Structure 1
């Protein structure tokens, strides 16, 4: 089989898998809205991410976006986060992103968003940055 035949065969024989991602609001705290995201946040995830971020904003609390389980992050995802952070700051509510993943940090830096988004390495540090206790599963917002 020639190289061209192999490429052609690969194009048609490789199954297309659906995007693998999850974005949701975790309801375990009353002092911060936690948006948890995981998997591949590409264009397919943008509508869900956008709707979830808008919902998080309407709750009137600081927002923590947990992206510690994100394996791919499109520039459009980061643009949505930056826009949400700007709106939140105008409303007097901070937004902090938790992620040490290269897939999140690298495009964030390349796009020059380090001035518009606060990104820290983990959820505990994000909670500290927001001035909140680290007890992640507190139902009443206290340690």
Structure 2
């Protein structure tokens, strides 16, 4: 095998997950709305997430994102990665275990300016016991967990 080819293949294997993480798909239900239609910006600007409206929606990463207002939609469009949930909207705790699990958009936390969603109240309790460690573990699995399922 050609040395240049081998080095290129090794580099692609090592760097591919990080490079593709920016373009990974997001989790959404069969209706196509991310986070069951909740407004991603509202998690950062209000005390509780608000349900978005289809008339204030955008397509990003192959899914539809709903917003409660045109202002929130516009803020998202200017910098979607600032508002989108981590790990493609999959359960952050499950990602720490290397698994893809759906989320409940009413079970959330913002840590260091990033939105994390969890699957259920019980999982949320476990997640909250050591979020820093679970984030570290989840980041080690993301996005390769998408390919291992």
- TM-score interval w.r.t. the shorter chain? under 0.3
Q: Please, what TM-score do these two structures have when normalized by structure 2?
A: 0.25
Structure with the largest fraction of strand: 1
Q: Please, what TM-score do these two structures have when normalized by structure 1?
A: 0.25
Query: Which has the higher Rg, Structure 1 or Structure 2?
Result: 1
